[in-house]
Amino acid sequence: MTGKIIAEDVRLRLAQSLPIVERHRAAITQEMEERLQQLEGADEAFGQAEVTALVLVELLIDGASDLAAFGGTRALAAKAVEHRRLDIDGRHYSRFGLALAPVLRKVLGIALPPKFASAWCDAFWFAIAEMAPDEIDQHRHARIGRARG
């Protein structure tokens, strides 16, 4: 378990909505794959969206489960190694993070109120920040550089 914890209201929303998200894992993964395929560039490997969606939905649900139960995540070093091996990096995290709320809304509809969808987005970025803090820093610097440029 890492030393960081997530806000109690987020933890409770994750705990309440975890069963419905787990029940719809396959549909969420499929919709996320379709969204990520739309964002893939010509230079990306064929099938990367499928792998990325599968791996990041797994990270999302596993991380949210830990957060709901403990308020923090387990050590994610093995996941970081897996992501590097699969060439999943900051650009994939950004695309997934941006698509997450719309995907959850499309798949789950009114069964997942907006505050709950927001909690899932918080859970994803919490897990990424714990697993790959350098990716988060690079993403922040890139955004700041574009804003200044």
Residue 97 is which amino acid? Answer: G
Q: Measure the CA–CA gap between 99 and 95, rounded to whole angstroms.
A: 6
135 three-class SS? helix
Tens of pLDDT along 57-93? 999 999 999 999 999 998 888 999 999 999 999 989 9
pTM: 0.85
Q: Measure the CA–CA gap between 50 and 82, rounded to whole angstroms.
A: 15
Q: Measure the CA–CA gap between 30 and 97, rounded to whole angstroms.
A: 15
